[in-house]
Structures are given as C-alpha cells and as structure tokens.
A and B are shown apart, each in its own frame.
Chain A
Amino acid sequence: MTERSQAAFTRQLNKVYGLYTIGLLIFIAALGGLEMMGMSRRWIGVIFLLATVLLYAGIGVISRTTDADEYYVAGRRVPAVYNGMATGADWMSAASFISLSGTMYLQGYAGLAFIMGWTGGYCLVALLLAPYLRRFGQFTIPDFLDARYGGTWPRLMGVVAAILCSFMYVVAQIYAIGLITSHLTGVAFEIGIFLGLGGILVCSFLGGMRAVTWTQVAQYIVIVIAFLVPVVWLSVKQTGIPVPQAIYGMQLEKVTQREQVLRADPKELEVIALFKAQADEYAAKLKDVPAALAAAQQAASQKVAELRAADAPLAQIQAAEKARLALPRDADSARRIWAQAQASNEARAQPLGGMPPHGVAFAGDPHGSAAEQRSFQDSRLNFLALVFCLTLGTAALPHLLMRCYTTPSVRAARQSVTWSLFFILLLYLSAPALAVLVKYEVFNVLVGTPFDSLPAWIANWSKVDPALLSVTDINRDGVLQLGEIRIGTDIVVLAMPEIGGLPYVVSGMVAAGALAAALSTADGLLLTISNALSHDVYYKLIDPNASNGRRVTISKMLLLGVALAAAAVAAQKPADIVFLVSAAFSIAASALFPALVLGVFWKRATARGATLGMASGLLMTLGYMVRNEPWMRDIFGISAPVDLWFAIQPISAGVFGVLLGFVVMVAVSLVTRPAHARSDAFVDHIRFPG
C-alpha cells in the first residue's frame, strides 16, 4: 500500500470512529433520558447489552474475510494510533476493568503491583521485541521461534506455551462475561456465558484479525467512556473537581484519617471480637474432630427430638432437621469445612474488615517485632516478585505480541506501542483513583447505615452470588459496621455506580464497558489459540500444501471448538479472575520470554537451548503452582504440604520459571553446536529495518 492511500485510509478511519463516538454518547444520553421518564432497570440493562453486542457483531460481519493476510494480520495496514487502541482493548481484559480497582480497594498498595507490572511490561515490548517482530513480519509467535532457531521443537514448545497461557486467560474472560450478562439481564450464569460467546464468535469467526481489530477499536472507546464517566462523576460528587486522577491524594488522606477512627470504634471492635470468638470455637473443634462432630450430631438430633416432643410448629422442626443434615458427614469433611470456617472467621476478625491501611506500602513493620519484620520482608518480596512476573508476562503474551505484526512498518510498530500504553494509561491512572473514591464512599456513607434502610443494590448483588457481597448484623445492633460487610474483588467496579448513588444508566454503561473489555480480550485470545493450532500445527507441520482458503476455514473450525471448550470450563466457576489471569502471565513469562529476547539479542542461542529452556521454565512454573496453589492442589489431588520458597506466593511462580529458563537456555546453547550461518543471517535481517 502506498503512503498516500495509507493516509487516505487513516482519514477515513478518523471520520468513521469520530462519528461512532458521538453516536455512542448520544445513545447513552438518550437512555439516561428514558430512565428519568421511568424506563425499568431491567430494560436498560438488556438494551445496553444487546445494542453493544449487535454493534460488535455488525463490525464483524462488515469485516468478514477469507484472505489469509487479512484473516491473520489484518492486511498489515492498521495505522499506529488505531493499532494502539486495538492493542489497548486487547490488553485491558475483565481483570483490568473489573478486578483491578477491586483488588486495590481490598488490598491498598499491594494491588498497585498489577498496575506497575502491566504497564512496565510495555517498556520491554517496545525496547526488546516489537520492532524486531514487525521486521520479521510473519503470522504467529511460534513462527518467529521456528524461523530463528529452526526445527520443529521450538515451534511446538511455542505452540504449547501459547495455547496454555491463552486458554487460562480466556477462561477468565468468559467467566467474567457470564457474571456481567447474568447481572445485567437476570438470566442464569451458564446462559450468560453462551450469550456472550455468541458475541465473541460472530466477530472473530467471520473476519479473524481484521474484524477483531476494528471491533477492538470500537470496544476501546466503549471501555474508556464507561470507566471514566463514573469516576469523574464520583469525583465531582465528593470534591467538586472533575479530574480525579490529579486530586485523589486528598481523598486518600481523608480515607486514612477515617481508617484511624474506624480502627478504634467500639462497635467495630465488638464485631471483631465476635468473629474472633467464632474462629476460636472452630479452632477448639479442630483439636479433636471426631469427638466434636459426634457432639454436634448429638446436639442436633436432640434438638429435633425436643422440638418434636414439645409439638413445635412444623417449620421449626424442619429447620432443625435441615441443620442436622447440613452437618459434615465424616471426620475428613468436617476437618476441611471447619478449617475453612476458622480461616475465614480469623480473616474477618481483623481491623477494617481485613483491609490493610490503604496508603501504606507493604504489610508489617521493619522496626517492629520479629514477626512484623518477617511479614514486612515477605510482603515486599512478594510485591516485587509479582511486578516481575506481570512485567515479563506482558512482554511474552502471544495475543499481545501478535499485534506487532499488524502495523504497516517497523516505524509504525514502535509508535504503536507508545500509543497502546497511552490509551491503557487513560484507564490505569483512573483505576487506583476509583478504588480510593469508592472506599471514601463506603467509609463515610455506607458504614453506620441502619440495617432496615440499606440501599437496594446490596440485596440485588447478594442474590447474584453471596460470595461477591454479603452483609450480616453480627453484633445485632441494627447498624452496619465495616467489619460486617464482605465484598468480593470482582464487584467493586460493577456496583460502584450504585454505591455512589449514580443513576442506573451509569451501571448499565459500566457493565457494557466491562463486557467490552472481556469480549475484546477473549477475541484476541481465541484467535491466538486457533491460529497456533491451524497455522503452526496444521499448516506448518501436517499439511504444508494447504491452500489459503483451506487454512482459514480450518482456523475458523478450531476457533469454534476452542471457544466451546473454554466456555465449558468457565461454566464450572473455577478460581477467581485475578488468579487465572496472573497465572497466565507467569506461564507466558517463563516459557516464552527468554527464548524471544535471547533470539533477538544473542546470536549464539541454539535450537536445543531454546527448546530445553522453554520446557524447563514452563515445568518449573506449573510445578510450583500445582504444588502450592489451593485451587490447583485440589484439582490435582496434591496432599504433600505446601512448600513455598523464600515465601513467594504461587501467583508469582514465574520468578523461578524465568530464572531457570534463562539459565538452562544459556547453558545448553553454550554446549550445543550453533547453526551460525542460519541464525546470523536471520538475526541480521530482523535487527536492521530495510
């Protein structure tokens, strides 16, 4: 494509997306008007959902293609700014939109590891990978590994790693889609999943990377409006200033003062004491499980018998019967259930409902007791380890790196990464602000509300899933204490408009934004998985003579299969979104980062070195997670005791994987014979543009 037609293309895009943004704002304003005229909340939710999904589907239909270059890399003519926007949408998943602020609300400073890691990774992408991948200019990441190292094994390892991390990531997205759709429309979680799946498929199925790119640009605009409007609104409501990013330090200071007050509040202390008492009760039971279980069973039976003898109302007898049946069946399950109950009560028997002081870096105290010093060291080390894994994972996730192939030139690839980070920052600079503003609202407005006048959203959300939000009047004083609220990570953003008392149309918009974030990322991920299978396995390894049309058809079939498999896994409601996503980063970092970077910067790296380095890094990370992460231990039935190295949490298993991957790759490369002529020519080709 010539420079002139590229410029005309960009102008055309500016016009289309400019009009689109205006249309979107008018649409939201119109719905706001209809709400004031009395339209029901259910309808607003349904209209938001349908309108946006239909819009994405429409773009998918318009951009449908069977041409391989269009299908795999959008014709390589996406201008830097738009590629940046599409990358932003690709990048900002349900975890960024929904869980990020929630994590910061619950964990304070500790949650900032996600912000730093997910943006710092762009430095590595920009400096170490993007220009070289674009210069190489093929279709997938395994393509790069094959071309650089030669042989089937590096490509296969690349395929395995790409599929593994993308699949974990996509399951998390589809889970979020189910959550949002079921909240927005009131349908069951499983049906919500399949509704959302339809939205993803229309797009990626018909038009591959081309449709996904142009849909992602549209989704980016929805995401950013949906996130910024409520944050700004909340900020104006609390401070009168519409730039929350610049002034939320002020609110943080007030939150910190309020934390001091709440820590000393006698009612809060009462709640803490009650949780502590419950935890102690379970601890006592755990000392002799069989005896405690027998006693509990006997007490329950006795109660039923007493009620029967006293001719109590049937409802009471049934309730007592139910309580008896609800008791653990045997000593093993009793031990498990009670241990969980003890831990959860213990966790809630902490000041501020278990939330650390918001503005303080790391837990513990470097000048306190030995235990406090230990806790400080561990929390600091884990923070750094998490930043490390997320940073390197960012620079190794195939669905993101694939975006380096879609720009017209190396120059544009460099600029595109800068634009991506710029568009991502619009949201990432606001997410910590949102957490602080919501906390201010909860501390000052919600806490202290009488139970009989609690806002309606609390009941609505508890109905969706009590694990996400529940309130109980533990100390029976009729007033809500902070310690009596249990709020889940994934709900803070979705419930934020209601917490702040904004109109319902804002809630619908936020849900639509969250849906756009999940859909756009899921699109990119599904495409990565199906391309790895169709391009890298089928075309490159099984049938190198397949025609272009056949390759695209196979890819579409695989896409459908992978999407259904991911939906089936997500319907089981696996671990929480943040863990699944972070695990994907650790896996990508340890399996792909060393091989990619050394491939560009170290000519001596060999095929064997790369293959073994990738394999060992991947196995190390997986092994550490399976051994130590509660949910994975459960799946694989691990009974060996948890064994943490340097107190590093399993979420950051990539630290060990990356280090081992580098060491193995360098060591093996040094003892194997290099393919000088081949690798030198290739590396020189990608290092010098033109």
Chain B
Amino acid sequence: MAGQANDTRGAYWRKNLRITTALLAIWFAVSFVATFFARELSFVFFGWPFSFWMAAQGALLIYLALIGLYAWYMNRLDRIAGFLGEEGRD
C-alpha cells in the first residue's frame, strides 16, 4: 500500500517537474532569447515593429497563457492523483 502511494507521488512529482520545465523554457525563450534578437526582428506586424509589439503585448499574453495552462493542468493532475478534499484549511 505504502509503496503504491509512493509510486503515485513519484509520478505526480515527475509530471509536475516536466510541465514546470517545459513552461519555464517557453518563458525563457520569450523573455530573453526573443528580446536578444529584438533589433533583427523589427519587421512590421499589424502596424507595429514586431519586437516592440512582442515586448509590449505578445510576451504578456504568452505569460498569461503559460500560468493559465499550468493552473489547469495541475488542478486536473491533483484530481487524478486523488489530492482532493482539501478545500478549506489544512
């Protein structure tokens, strides 16, 4: 029984680490890699210079999508792994 619980926990944590790493990689690419090449990426994008739009709006919307996705994924994972019934204080 205990071993089985440990397996679920191990799998849960590995999945958590996997999605965290993947989302952080996107965050890093958007924040630092795209910005590093900002001068090269200055083609016109719906009226904006692309790198300006990216820093002013694109990056922000991607960030919001990242954390929204994380909350959705992890809350679903909690349910599957049976970490429920913790509404209220614990």
Contact of A115 with B by CB under 8 A: yes
Measured between beta carbons, the chain A residues less than 8 angstroms from B52 are 109, 112, 252, 359, 361
When C-beta atoms are compared, the residue in chain B nearest to A112 turns out to be B55
Measured between beta carbons, the chain B residues less than 8 angstroms from A245 are 57
A387 and B88 in contact, given A112-B55, A122-B67, A249-B48 (Cβ under 8 angstroms): no
Q: Which of A126-134, A280-288, A307-315 lies at the binding interface?
A: A126-134
Contact check: which of A109, A366, A409, A414 meets B71 at CB < 8 Å?
A414
Contact of A187 with B by CB under 8 A: no
B65-83 residues with Cβ-Cβ distance < 8 A to A are 66-68, 70-71, 74-75, 78, 82-83
Measured between beta carbons, the chain A residues less than 8 angstroms from B49 are 252, 359-361
The reply to whether A116 and B55 contact each other, CB–CB distance below 8 Å, is yes
The reply to whether A690 and B78 contact each other, CB–CB distance below 8 Å, is yes
The reply to whether B55 and A688 contact each other, CB–CB distance below 8 Å, is no
A411 and B75 in contact, given A116-B35, A361-B39, A421-B63 (Cβ under 8 angstroms): yes
Measured between beta carbons, the chain B residues less than 8 angstroms from A408 are 87-89
The reply to whether A119 and B63 contact each other, CB–CB distance below 8 Å, is yes
Measured in the bound complex, the distance between the Cα atoms of B30 and A569 in whole Å is 39
Measured between beta carbons, the chain A residues less than 8 angstroms from B86 are 409-411, 689-690
The reply to whether A128 and B20 contact each other, CB–CB distance below 8 Å, is yes
Measured between beta carbons, the chain B residues less than 8 angstroms from A252 are 47-49, 52
Measured between beta carbons, the chain B residues less than 8 angstroms from A76 are 89
Measured between beta carbons, the chain B residues less than 8 angstroms from A374 are none
Measured between beta carbons, the chain B residues less than 8 angstroms from A414 are 70-71, 74-75
Contact of B85 with A by CB under 8 A: yes
Measured in the bound complex, the distance between the Cα atoms of B12 and A391 in whole Å is 28
Measured between beta carbons, the chain A residues less than 8 angstroms from B48 are 249, 252, 359
The reply to whether B90 and A429 contact each other, CB–CB distance below 8 Å, is no
Measured in the bound complex, the distance between the Cα atoms of B74 and A411 in whole Å is 8
Instruction: Tell which of A113, A250, A361, A362 has the most Cβ of chain B within 10 Å.
Output: A361
When C-beta atoms are compared, the residue in chain A nearest to B79 turns out to be A411
Contact check: which of B46, B60, B88 meets A2 at CB < 8 Å?
B88
Measured in the bound complex, the distance between the Cα atoms of B68 and A116 in whole Å is 17
Contact of A383 with B by CB under 8 A: yes
Contact of A677 with B by CB under 8 A: no
Contact of B1 with A by CB under 8 A: no
Measured in the bound complex, the distance between the Cα atoms of B35 and A212 in whole Å is 37
Interface string of B9-48 (1 = CB under 8 A from A): 1001100100010011001001110011011001001111
B-side interface residues toward A, CB under 8 Å? 9, 12-13, 16, 20, 23-24, 27, 30-32, 35-36, 38-39, 42, 45-49, 51-53, 55-57, 59-61, 63-64, 66-68, 70-71, 74-75, 78, 82-90
A-side interface residues toward B, CB under 8 Å? 1-3, 6, 76, 109, 112-113, 115-116, 119-120, 122-124, 126-128, 131, 137, 245, 247, 249-250, 252-253, 359-362, 366, 376, 380, 383-384, 387-388, 391, 408-411, 414-415, 417-418, 421-422, 425, 428-429, 432, 684, 687-690
9 further A-B contacts with Cβ under 8 Å, apart from A252-B49, A384-B35, are A3-B88, A109-B55, A120-B59, A127-B66, A359-B49, A376-B39, A410-B78, A425-B64, A690-B90
